[in-house]
Structure 1
Amino acid sequence: MVQIGKFHIRDAGTSPIDLDAIMGSLDASVKHLASNGNGEQWGPKLFSEKDGYREDVGEDLKNSENYRLTGQGQATRTFIAEIEDANVEDGLPRRVDKNGVSWLPVGNLEISENNLGDYFTDMVDLRPYLEEAKSIEGGFLCIVFVMSDVRAGERAKGSGAAQVEYAKQYARERGMKALYLDCWVGGTQGLVRIHTNWRLFFRAAKNKAHLLARPSVQDVAVSTGQDKVSQVPRVEAAVI
């Protein structure tokens, strides 16, 4: 378990509450996106209502633990961000450790080593980024998803940035030189603003359906060349 600020980042799949916590946060995010003008990102259907999705997430957790323990199989890991919180009145799942301390999951993170995902091969405009990634000496880390649980309200504030910081630490410890992620740039472009606040830099794919980030594992400084980040399809950055 690693502490970043007020958040503990731990391996997912090590507590029986983890699958429910992740599925609950996904469903809550669907509702939250619909309420703030970004419902197009994931659509109206709850993840818990999608055939086989819960089972797929469960398999992801098993694969994560298998890779952590054996170094074999798919090189992906899933983590839970949690805070100490015993207020059970909110009805959210909690983990109770061996000392009787209650921990509330407030976010989750999935990362993949040296793999950007199938759609980088399937989408012609993204293939150059795939080739670039493959050429990086020391390898790279891809953030498959990073999420804060909106059900936790203010208690989850900052958990996204903490999880990204943990991903950077994970990459550095393994000698990796770059961290990649992509995000949706439709709707209100809120994800662009959030990611820029995380001090990552972004370049939009030509089809503007995704935004690809390739920050150095070191910190970066962001410059957009325009007044509002939400108005630009491309963001430039310099490593500091």
Structure 2
Amino acid sequence: MAPTNVFRFRPATIAAGDDRWFVEAWDSTLPYLASIGSTSQWQYVPSNLPGAVSKVKKMVTESDISAQKYPTSSPEVLEDGAVPPLDWSKAYVAEIDVKKENLPAALADKYSNIQGDVVAIPVGAMVLQGKSPEYVRAVIPEQDEKDPFIFLAFLMTDHRAGGLAKGSGSALLNIAKEEVKKLGLKRLCGDCWRGNGRRLVGYYDGQGLKAIGDFDVPKNEQDSWEGAVTEWRA
């Protein structure tokens, strides 16, 4: 049996350059998606699209600001009625220690100049927010006063890391579920692409996030991005 990867988790920050790494990791998913027939999930290279780069930087920046405004994850940060603040946000990085001699070829140059025989490399990323994005609101509102939630806005694995990243997505989702509990809530929501036979929907289902509704985001006059909203309950 292959050994289980052991990850550390830390806040993603602008100071650490995590916004740039988020985009690199996003780029790394494209060859993998092509290999499983999911090319339509992302039809562009994120690093080549200013809007995608700005979106990622904004998420990490908002997490930095939220960490100052809400330094603890506890019911005390909630607004009246136990509704999360709409500007609450937490961005995470999952890291793993690896000997330089075992670095994947795709990352060897990036970390070869770091001192020491062992380096910590980021392999997974996640962003949690206190509100849903506009494109899912045909299924869930911005926030729900009767049934409040935390929204999983971003979850990514760096495919350049190969087997070193295995399990990081599941580990990050466990952190998300713990955040929900720390805030005194019962609900984690998110969204994902539902194309290619709902393969990604099935992954989230296996992680406990069940599909609760579908939506479509128009890309042009002929085509749309097919999504599903998912939900986990404590």
Please tell me the TM-score bracket, short chain as reference.
0.7 to 0.9
Partner SS state of residue 188, structure 2: strand
Q: Is the 8 A contact 2:143 2:149 kept in 1?
A: no
Q: Is the 8 A contact 1:37 1:188 kept in 2?
A: no
Aligned partner of 1:40 in structure 2 is 40
**TM value normalised by structure 2:** 0.76
* C-alpha RMSD of matched pairs (Å): 3.1
User: 1:21 aligned to 2:37?
Assistant: no
% identical aligned pairs: 25
Among candidates 187, 192, 200, match of residue 183 of structure 1: 192
User: 1:117 aligned to 2:133?
Assistant: yes
TM alignment of 1:79-118, pairs within 5 A: 79-87=92-100, 88=103, 90-92=105-107, 93=110, 102-113=119-130, 115-118=131-134
Aligned partner of 1:161 in structure 2 is 170
CA distance, structure 1, for counterparts of residue 149 and residue 58 of structure 2: 24
| Residue 9 to residue 21, structure 1, CA distance change in 2 (3 Å) | same
> Highest relative contact order (Cα 8 Å, sep 6+), 1 or 2?
2
Report the AA paired with residue 209 of structure 2. L
Aligned partner of 1:237 in structure 2 is none
**TM value normalised by structure 1:** 0.74
Gaps of 5+ in 2: 71-84, 217-224
Q: Is the 8 A contact 1:63 1:73 kept in 2?
A: no
Gaps of 5+ in 1: 219-240
Instruction: Summarize deviations over 1:185-218 as a string: whole Å, max 9, x none.
Output: 10242212211221222223266932221221x2
TM alignment of 1:193-204, pairs within 5 A: 193-204=202-213
Aligned partner of 2:88 in structure 1 is 75
Residue 97 (structure 1) shift: 10
Instruction: Summarize deviations over 1:145-178 as a string: whole Å, max 9, x none.
Output: 2111111111111111111100011111111121
CA distance, structure 2, for counterparts of residue 73 and residue 212 of structure 1: 19
Partner SS state of residue 160, structure 2: helix
Aligned partner of 2:82 in structure 1 is none
Residue 30 (structure 1) shift: 2.2
Q: Is the 8 A contact 2:104 2:162 kept in 1?
A: no
